[in-house]
Chains A and B, each alone.
Chain A
């Protein structure tokens, strides 16, 4: 609905008198049914006046005569501007086109987003401003929700341009990503450069870094709750997007007008195929093959005034294949992976105000790693099947008090590692590890109490029961959040949460790849556990135009899981036996300031953080900095609406380099058995004691929008890494031969992957504007 625009019409102005102070009134109504629209923000920045429309869609200001520049602000929509030369009492009626009639959810969001950081006891939570983010420069023309959240304080990115992220010193596997309530185990296409989330489908997203509501569980560092849009119940629309990397087509419209709607979007990666196509025949044979596609769909049925049913569907697949002909026994690799998700939800409103949501969720995630050469064929498979039923309830007891409770049951089947080693033997001689099936039952309850104007408390308890064939774990997870509001614009908040995690991602690689294995807790692998406390200062100022927050946190992690050093899943297929367990802790402070409205808007965030781990079997038992320990992390994002057609944006990010381990010395390693087995060893000092160079870059973007009667289009020019900083992607000690002495040498090489990258993209929306 990005293309929807506002038709602004001043119906009439009424002259009443010639006084110096005049009354300026607005009324905003739906163009079609003339019903008032609530919650539209109208303001003049320079005059410092502004407010939301009331239940009648009206708002009035008493202001001196003069010239005013008003803007209307709708969450997620292009800001509209108009000039008024105010000489008398004036009533302006604004007709909104049918297409932009904001539904109740959006209106509610508008109100809550502006005051939420002050009014709510919730801390550690950010409602992702998707439309604000969409104005910022994007990489290769691809707006990506996961890359957007990396810009927020307390969230660190993984490797360059990847969708992986780390929250408050936690691991990548400690982030729960929900798409319409379905758990996504691998949210990446293209080895993490692009996420599986098609922005045409996303309505909103909320990230919890701490202060987790009891509704959420199963991960210990963050929850990202992404919800998809509903289709248009009135008329059909289509949206086409062409970028350098992907192209997509989205269609939305009524199957049964005002009753059943459909929204579907198909996206495909094609540019690399084109690149291969333009390559010469010989070069083409040596290049890797790659493609991906994904499809999202959603059907929504307004069954009655009290009932709504929807079915949401996602299917996506990637495939990488390439040959390594550098050795005599040339090898062929084939690596496909896929996600499939289907969700059915029934929302029902009981007569006494009790709201319920019943969900049936099915998810599968599969990947294969195939390798073969003339001697052997290896297949490593990993997969998860996830079926769950949720039943959530919410009831407002009285003003300021709300009760939320619910339960869910899930049945998960993990096939974490099936290795087939087929050394010139028939395939049936290979061995398969049996899959593991686990069941979970979770119960939760949350009670929010507004004690008075100053104090608010939210208490919750979650009880997960995890049933593995060999072991059952029962947890109790208290959640407590408290707010003290100093005045109308300032609040202090604190929180304590305890979380358990029953699935674990094993990664022998520092890069996020589909080869990472998900395994469930077992009698050997205990659930990960995290306790987190936070304290924050929140302030709005400039008539809610600006938002400021400072939040400190401390997080203690138990039962962390890693591979033992040197473990190899091909050599040691019994995964339980090659794991090691330890603990970790992280602490930090997050600073955030945001200007939401006005022609000139944006935000800046800074995080100061430390993250450490300690494993008895790693680093000789000494504590060490986590791989993504990042001392400083900063983002400055600015958007400027030049006029109704043009907008300019810029983004600057800075981060301390990732931790790495380098050999400092060499020494003689004595076998104790005469000469045989003696060798030299490397002294690495402390694990992760070195840092890559700092990461920083500046992106800029220019956007031109054009609106026509039956279509609207957007042309974007984005430049990633304007000053072409060669940021380190990784470093490696590469063995080389000195041509003069013919001796072997090591060189420390730094690899960067993205210098300046300009991109152009074009989106067009077809539908009545």
Chain B
């Protein structure tokens, strides 16, 4: 129900006779698309792809890995060259895209190396490819610790009068005012991530941010004063105040253990603080995917945000809190 659709519809109804197909004469030049997100928890990995012409065809999109680039990560004191390598991974493309002909859908190519990253420091990416230099930089956000993670069980009554238990997980942390915060919290159980939500409070602009839940593609929030409770699976509307935050959500539907009340298990929680650039990249790429700008002449297309000088994509960073592991022992 986009307004541009209805304008388009009216015009098309009235002006069927004045349509002609045009040849596309586009100024295509292949560009390097970068994806790399670094953190103090791990070593760098850089994916490089080459853009392909817009060929008026959307099916069988070919992923073109770049294998011949020189990739360097550096800070003020040292530079490390990353080494390109092909390796297997599970369901990376999942049949949605075709890698190049000598790859299969379980193979990827990336550049890796060893580098120790620290919160608050700026790191530089430099790529030499086809005689050109592509650059970017990112500053790793400060670590924001979780104060506590609490599991809480409440007895409730179902519609038929039967009692049942509702299990809540409550994460509590203090939001520093001095930094931009694009948070995500991660809850895992037996090494499987069961909740992977992104949240954020911009303490500079004072505006709260809720970054899209990647498991729930239908929601898209830019800047809102509050997060409706249904989006957090909590009971209350959550109002950000830029100070202390406690996120509360049900995990009963994530870990269904009611049939085995004696089962004891551990839940691992982490608060991840993202650099804004990755938020912008993800948000705009999701927006572009959601919108119908290609076929709608009256709407402005969405350009995917990038921080790569001379290329496309993203070089960004995050910093995880120390994990808190709580034991579920009913």
Binding site for B on A (CB under 8 A): 191, 286-288, 320, 322, 324, 331, 333, 369, 371, 378, 508-511, 513, 515, 564-568, 570-572, 574, 577-578, 618-620, 661-685, 687, 689, 726, 729-735, 743-755
Contact = CB atoms under 8 A, between A and B. Distances in A.
Interface string B220-249: 111111000000000000000000000000
B214 A511 contact: no
Interface in B27-57: 27-31, 33, 35, 37, 47, 49-54, 56-57
Given A324-B9, A664-B27, A677 B295 contact: no
B310 interface: no
Contacts of A747: 21, 56
B295 A577 contact: no
A661 B295 CA distance: 12
Nearest to B58: A744
A744 B22 contact: no
Given A735-B295, A751-B12, 15 more contacts: A191-B7, A565-B302, A619-B303, A620-B303, A663-B294, A666-B61, A669-B313, A670-B49, A672-B35, A675-B91, A675-B92, A677-B214, A679-B96, A689-B27, A748-B24
B214 A682 contact: no
Q: Which of A568, A683, A685, A746 has the most CB of B within 10 A?
A: A683
Contacts of B49: 667-668, 670
B59 interface: yes
B151 interface: no
Contacts of B50: 667
Contacts of B282: 671
A754 B18 CA distance: 8
A681 B291 CA distance: 12
Given A510-B297, A749-B20, A665 B287 contact: no
A666 B54 contact: yes
Contacts of B214: 671, 673, 676-677
Contacts of B54: 662-666, 682-683
B120 interface: no
Interface of B: 1-15, 17-24, 26-31, 33, 35, 37, 47, 49-54, 56-59, 61, 63-64, 89-94, 96-97, 196, 207, 214-215, 220-225, 282-285, 287-291, 294-306, 312-313
A668 B98 CA distance: 11
Contacts of A322: 6, 9-10, 13
A744 B295 CA distance: 13
B1 A331 contact: yes
A669 B222 contact: no
Contacts of B220: 566, 571
Given A515-B3, A668-B63, A675-B94, A746 B284 contact: no
Contacts of B207: 577
A680 B21 CA distance: 25
A672 B11 contact: no
A618 to B, nearest CB: 7
A682 B294 contact: yes
A755 B297 contact: no
A192 B56 CA distance: 33
Q: Is the interface of B mostly helix, strand, loop or mixed?
A: loop
B56 A746 contact: yes
B30 A665 contact: yes
Given A565-B302, A675-B92, A665 B53 contact: yes
Contacts of A371: 1
Contact of A730 (B13, B21, B56, B297): B297
A724 to B, nearest CB: 10
B91 A745 contact: no
Contacts of A567: 222
A578 B18 contact: no
A717 to B, nearest CB: 23
Nearest to A693: B22
A568 B2 contact: yes
A565 B300 contact: yes
B25 to A, nearest CB: 9
A749 B15 contact: no
B4 A732 contact: no
B51 A666 contact: yes
B211 to A, nearest CB: 13
Contact of A743 (B6, B19, B59): B59
20 contacts: A322-B6, A324-B5, A369-B3, A510-B298, A513-B7, A577-B225, A618-B303, A620-B306, A661-B300, A665-B28, A666-B54, A669-B285, A674-B90, A676-B214, A682-B294, A726-B20, A730-B297, A733-B294, A745-B58, A749-B21
A309 B15 CA distance: 48
Contacts of A509: 3-4, 7, 298-299
A367 B13 CA distance: 23
Nearest to B99: A668
A748 B9 contact: no
Contact of B96 (A578, A673, A675, A730): A675
A689 B5 CA distance: 24
Nearest to A753: B15
A591 to B, nearest CB: 32
Q: Which of A287, A674, A687, A733 has the most CB of B within 10 A?
A: A733
Nearest to B281: A669
A748 B22 contact: yes
